[in-house]
Amino acid sequence: MENDIKIRVNDVYVRFNMASERVDNIKEYVIKVLKRQLLFQEFIALKGISFDVRAGESWGFIGSNGSGKSTLLKTISGILKPYKGSVTVNGSISPLIELGAGFDGNMTARENVFLNGCVLGYSESFIREKFDEIIDFAEVRDFLDVPLKNFSSGMAARLGFSIATTVKPDILICDEVLAVGDFKFQEKCEKRMNELLSGGTTLLFVSHSAEQVKRMCKKAIWIDHGEMRMIGDASEVCEAYKNS
C-alpha cells in the first residue's frame, strides 16, 4: 500500500445470516440448529465497496437508515470481517461507533475513563495525566462518581468523544456521535476534529446532517442499500443525496 494511503477498501462485501423464523429462547435455537431445522436468509449488507483514503483526508458517509454506513465503518474498524474483498488500514484507529461501546454502565464515570482509555490502548499513567482534561472537555465533573447507566446519551457521548480524542489518532472514526449532543457541544467537537485534521488526522464521519458532512468533510460517499451510489466532492455528493 502506498505510504500516503491510510485505508484501502477493496471490493468489500459483508454478509449476514438472518433466521427466517422466530425463536423464543436459546434452548429452542440450539435444538433447531442441531436438528438442522433452523433456516437462514442471506442478507448482503455491503456490495462491492472500493475506495482509498489518504492521510489527512476527511470523508463523510451519507445514506438512509439501514443503507450500510455503520456496517462499513465497523468493517474498517475491524469489528466486522468482509465476506469477500479486503480492508487494509495503515495507522492507529480511534473508533466512536456506538454509544456505550467500551463503557460499563454499572461503573462510575471516573472508573469508565480508565476502562475506556485502556480499551483504546492508553496507559494508566497517561490517563491519570490527562484525566482532568478529559473530564473538563466532557463537562461531567459534577457526575464523576455517578454510575454511567444514569447518564443521558448526550453525556455518555461527550465522555466517549473526549476520551477518544485526548490524543491525536492517525484515524478518527465517528458514527453519529454528535447527533445526541447539544448545539454548543457539537460546535466544541467540530472544533476539536478540525484541530485534529489540521494536525494530520484522517477522519471518517457519518451523520444524517448533510450540512454537517459538508462542513467537516472534503470528500463523501453516498451508500444506498449497501451499494456505492456516488463518490466525490462532499458538497456535490450531499446535494445529490438531498435532491434524490
Is 176 domain-assigned?
A: yes
Is 110 domain-assigned?
A: yes
Is 164 domain-assigned?
A: yes
Prediction pTM value: 0.80
Is 87 domain-assigned?
A: yes
Which candidate, 187, 185, 220, 225, places its Cα nearest to that of 205? Answer: 220
Q: How many CB atoms lie within 10 A of CB 123?
A: 10
- Whole-number pLDDT of residue 111: 96
Radius of gyration of the chain (CA): 19
Is 30 domain-assigned?
A: no
CA distance 41 to 235: 37
CA distance 114 to 116: 6
- Whole-number pLDDT of residue 187: 85
Cβ(94)–Cβ(164) under 8 Å?
Answer: yes
Is 207 domain-assigned?
A: yes
**3-state SS, residue 244:** coil
CA distance 209 to 224: 16
| Domain span at 207 | 56-242
Is 76 domain-assigned?
A: yes
- Whole-number pLDDT of residue 225: 94
Question: Which CATH number goes with the domain that contains 154?
Answer: 3.40.50.300
Ranges of the chain with pLDDT below 70: 1-3, 18-25, 27-41, 98-101, 177-181
Positive or negative, the CA dihedral 176, 215, 61, 205 is negative
Is 50 domain-assigned?
A: no
pLDDT in tens, 49-77: 999 999 999 999 999 988 999 899 999 99
Per the structure, the count of domains in the chain is: 1
H or E, element range at 81: none
- Whole-number pLDDT of residue 183: 77
Give the strand order in the sheet containing 202-206: 93-96, 171-175, 202-206, 58-62, 219-224, 227-233
Residue 61: beta bridge partners?
206, 221
Cβ(177)–Cβ(98) under 8 Å?
Answer: no
